[in-house]
């Protein structure tokens, strides 16, 4: 249940990166912060390149006892020794992912701002549900508000993740009612991503 312990950091890679130059930047963040899980969030359909990234980043995570999951690509998770998958489509793919990857795999589900989709994903066997974006400056689309996280953490036992458009203010607001903060783009554009991560998460101690 959220609120009983301090939220953990769920680190996302950028959607696009040069594998060999990114690896040491990632390693520095993994060594300098307490990371619960890493998500390979490389976008696109070039499965060969995504597979190369999986093979390069997997040992960085596993050597530090950090689980690594991948966005969407069920087959790559299975083939490349990853710990699970993050699904972008609510509950729709959760049962198939569980069937393919087995009972011990991590299966997470992004459910936008929908309490209903989150409940369906949890009932389908998701290990966590992510809601978001929680912030942003574009003024388009709905945001996942604090009330959603507060209700979820009070009523539902499936862990909840706050994701998308995080700021120090939003971290402080959501820290009592979420289990994880999914952090990626917020830090990788900065010259020192570890310092950016520490600044972003200072409110959670």
CATH number of the domain within which 74 lies = 3.20.20.70
92-108 pLDDT tens trace: 999 999 999 999 999 99
Question: What range does the domain containing 167 cover?
Answer: 8-191
| Of 47-61, 140-154, 175-189, minimum mean pLDDT range | 140-154
**Where does the pLDDT of residue 5 fall: very low under 50, low under 70, confident under 90, or very high at 90 and above?**
confident
Task: Report the run of H or E that residue 49 belongs to, with start and end.
Answer: helix 47-62
Cα distances (angstroms) measured from residue 19 to each of 115, 123, 178:
36, 36, 31
Give domain status of residue 197, yes or no.
Answer: no
Tell me how long the chain is.
205
pLDDT at residue 135 tops 80: yes
Secondary structure E strands in the chain: 8-12, 35-40, 67-71, 84-87, 106-110, 128-131, 160-163, 180-183
Query: Judging by beta carbons within 10 Å of its beta carbon (0-12, 13-18, 19+), is residue 60 exposed, middle or buried?
Result: middle
Q: Kindly report the pTM of this predicted structure.
A: 0.94
Residue whose token pair is 């459910």: 111
Judged by phi (left if over 0) then psi (alpha if -120 to 50, else beta), residue 180 lies in beta
| pLDDT reading at 138 higher than 70 | no
Query: Does any domain span residue 204?
Result: no
- For the chain, the domain total comes to 1
Confidence of residue 3 (pLDDT cuts 50, 70, 90): very low
Residue 199 lies in a domain: no
């Amino acid at each position: 249940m959220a609120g009983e312990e301090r939220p953990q950091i769920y680190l996302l890679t950028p959607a696009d990166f040069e594998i060999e130059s990114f690896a040491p930047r990632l390693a520095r963040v993994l060594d300098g912060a307490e990371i619960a899980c890493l998500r390979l969030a490389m976008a696109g359909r070039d499965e060969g390149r995504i597979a190369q990234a999986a093979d390069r980043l997997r040992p960085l995570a596993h050597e530090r006892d950090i689980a690594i999951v991948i966005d969407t690509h069920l087959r790559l998770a299975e083939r490349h020794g990853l710990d699970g998958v993050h699904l972008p489509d609510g509950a729709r793919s959760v049962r198939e992912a569980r069937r393919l990857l087995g009972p011990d795999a991590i299966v997470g589900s992004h459910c936008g701002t929908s309490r209903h989709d989150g409940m369906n994903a949890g009932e389908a066997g998701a290990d966590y549900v992510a809601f978001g974006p929680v912030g942003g400056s574009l003024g388009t689309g709905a945001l996942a508000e604090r009330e959603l996280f507060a209700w979820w953490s009070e009523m539902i036992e499936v862990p909840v993740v706050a994701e998308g458009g995080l700021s120090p203010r939003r971290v402080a607001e959501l820290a009592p009612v979420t289990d994880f903060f999914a952090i990626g783009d917020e830090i990788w554009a900065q010259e020192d991503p570890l310092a950016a991560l520490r600044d972003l998460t200072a409110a959670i101690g």
